[in-house]
Copies of this chain bind each other. A is one copy, B any other.
């Protein structure tokens, strides 16, 4: 099942640069693992903002929550989650 999750990330500008770097690296590794597993179907950067659209493809709400709340940056993230049904006009 697919969920569209729009995430706005607010890292404090005065965050220790090293901590920031580790967070960014950890987030990248975490995200790419989920992409390789197909549990993140796609991820896009919202141009001009520290925000993204992330298309999750998982089996349940619990799994979605586990993955989103497991993001290294979760404490700095405001997530809006929308459950996606099949669109009647979709040819896929």
Q: Are A1 and B61 in contact, with the CB atoms below 8 A?
A: yes
Copies in the complex: 10
The reply on A22 being an interface residue by CB < 8 A is no
Instruction: Please count how many residues in chain A sit with their CB below 8 Å of the partner chain's CB atoms.
Output: 48
Q: Are A89 and B31 in contact, with the CB atoms below 8 A?
A: yes
SS class of chain A's interface: helix, strand, loop or mixed?
mixed
A-B contact pairs, 19 of them (CB 8 A): A2-B44, A11-B75, A35-B90, A42-B90, A43-B89, A43-B90, A44-B84, A45-B86, A45-B87, A46-B84, A47-B64, A47-B81, A47-B83, A49-B81, A50-B69, A61-B83, A61-B84, A66-B85, A83-B83
Chain A positions near chain B (C-beta within 8 angstroms): 1-5, 11, 13, 27-28, 31-32, 35-36, 42-50, 52-53, 60-62, 64-66, 68-69, 74-76, 79, 81-92
